[in-house]
Amino acid sequence: MPARRKLIAGNWKMNGLHAAGLELATDLARRLASAGTVGFDMLVCPPATLVHPVAGAVAGTPLAVGGQDCHPKESGAHTGDIGAPMLADAGAGFVIVGHSERRQNHGEDDALVAAKAAAAHAAGLVAIVCVGETLEQREAGQALAVVASQVAGSLPAGADAANTVIAYEPVWAIGTGKTATAADVAEVHAHIRATLAGRAGKPDAVRILYGGSVKPSNAAELMAVEDVDGALVGGASLVADDFWAIAETCR
């Protein structure tokens, strides 16, 4: 099994104004620079208004910057949307696609997520493809089937370890304070790994993140689970001390 470097990704969601966003990003960049050799990569995904200033503020540091969504088309008459080439032009290297909040609040299906991931790849971005079941689906015993179906339907042709990261985020554990048990996470991540075979290049090298109320108090246990290659962090990524503490569990 190839060694997979952990990725600690922060999804700021619809939070952050200019001054506070730059302060948070530069604080994390300074910590990374002073930490020397670490066993993880760190990424922040601010709102679209902050991608360019944050990317500029942390240029030359190990801190990566990403967007939170992109349109499947690179340009055109799509008012309010952002094309993947625009994110790349602003300094992003990653983009989240298919987050559960996009799937639920905007009706995004697997086909649209796959199209967005393909657009990200074409623009030279790494797509973080999100999958995860609802509470009703888990209680009905459908979690593994739902997640496998989402993985299969959300990956475009050409997806591989260099351009794609998978993020498993049980919908019922996002922003609720609930966290899947280590056994639950291990089961789903192993199933995702198996599902990637034949659907992604170098499937054993594709990083699979866990996202769902990750915080300093549970990060060490979650990051120690087999096939967990990092975390997609929501609320805790807005607090530098908390986000750094999560990352430190991967050193």
| Residue among 99, 121, 189, 191 flagged as catalytic | 99
Instruction: Please list the pLDDT of the chain residue by residue as tens digits (251 residues).
Output: 458 999 999 999 999 999 999 999 999 999 999 998 999 999 999 999 999 999 999 999 999 999 999 999 999 999 999 999 999 999 999 999 999 999 999 999 999 999 999 999 999 999 999 999 999 999 999 999 999 999 999 999 999 999 999 999 999 888 777 778 999 999 999 999 999 998 999 999 999 999 988 999 999 999 999 999 999 999 999 999 999 999 999 98
Assigned CATH for 6-248 = 3.20.20.70
pTM: 0.97
- 106 counts as catalytic: no
Would strands 230-233 and 40-45 be described as parallel, antiparallel, or unpaired? Answer: unpaired
Residue pair 46/12 in contact (Cβ under 8 Å)? The answer is yes
Residue ranges of domains in the chain? 6-248
* Chain-centre distance for alpha carbon 234: 10
Q: What is the maximum span of the chain, computed from C-alpha positions, in angstroms?
A: 48
Q: Which helix (H) or strand (E) holds 247?
A: helix 240-248
| Residue among 101, 108, 133, 169 flagged as catalytic | 169
- 99 counts as catalytic: yes
